[in-house]
Amino acid sequence: MNILPSVKLDSKYKEALIDFQSREDIPSIWRETPIEAFIMSQNFGWPIQTTGKPELLIATCIEFRYAMPVPRMYAYVIRRASGRVIGSEFSVGYTLAKGVRHLVMIGHNDCGMSRVPQSAPLMVDAFVDQGWRRETAEEYVKKHAARHAIGDELEALKEEYHRLHRLFPKLMIAPLFVSLYDGKLYLPRWYTQLGPQDTQPGTDPVPDEVIERLP
């Protein structure tokens, strides 16, 4: 049997990610919540107990190398290129209305959205092949590439975490990182360095300007 390499052998992630070696490695703020249950199921094989009510909103990338093993009647899932929720805030609102209080955001290594400039010409060709005018396709790809492209995967996850925490301050958000090598979840080290104001639920009103700027 092949032994899959740990993502932590990659020097880029060695210091930036923390292993969940046991339940104790889960941040205390997530204990006894659906976030803890999700991590335990994905990394330690604990069975997910479904209640018939949605427990979680999970946001992750469209990446085909990652298949999230969760049962039906358990979670809402948003899958978008890079895993960022930007542009799907309405969907988040819907899940909040259905009782969801916990969001798990899952970034991953080797994300295609960190290499958008390389894919852009192929995407233009693909739209042209569908019957789009080349100029229109080029303009469309240029406009949306800027919105979808990310630099570093962990940095993009961090920025999106802070954006969502400001927008939905009472939603408990868990930023996680999945390794495409072994399918395990890791904790970004930057999360452990955040203060309570960035992790605890907030009660301040959300300024209109923040909402008006949504795409």
The residues that touch Zn ion, with contacts defined as CB under 5 A, are 61, 63, 111
Of 66 and 190, CB closest to Zn ion: 66
Of 100 and 149, CB closest to Zn ion: 149
Residue 47 Cα distances to 25, 141, 193, 201, angstroms: 19, 42, 30, 28
* Amino acid present at 117: P
Of 66 and 140, CB closest to Zn ion: 66
User: What is the residue whose two structure tokens read 């209109």?
Assistant: 208
Of 128 and 180, CB closest to Zn ion: 180
Shortest spacing between CB 81 and Zn ion, in angstroms = 6
Shortest spacing between CB 70 and Zn ion, in angstroms = 18
Shortest spacing between CB 63 and Zn ion, in angstroms = 4
Q: Beta-strand (E) ranges in 20-153?
A: 56-60, 75-79, 102-108
Shortest spacing between CB 152 and Zn ion, in angstroms = 12
d(CA 178, CA 59): 12
* Amino acid present at 158: K
Of 124 and 150, CB closest to Zn ion: 150
Shortest spacing between CB 28 and Zn ion, in angstroms = 29
Between vectors from CA 76 to CA 70 and to CA 80, what angle results, nearest 5°?
95
What spatial distance separates the first Cα and last Cα of the chain, rounded to whole Å? 47
Length of the chain: 215
Shortest spacing between CB 128 and Zn ion, in angstroms = 24
d(CA 123, CA 48): 39
Of 118 and 197, CB closest to Zn ion: 118
d(CA 40, CA 170): 23
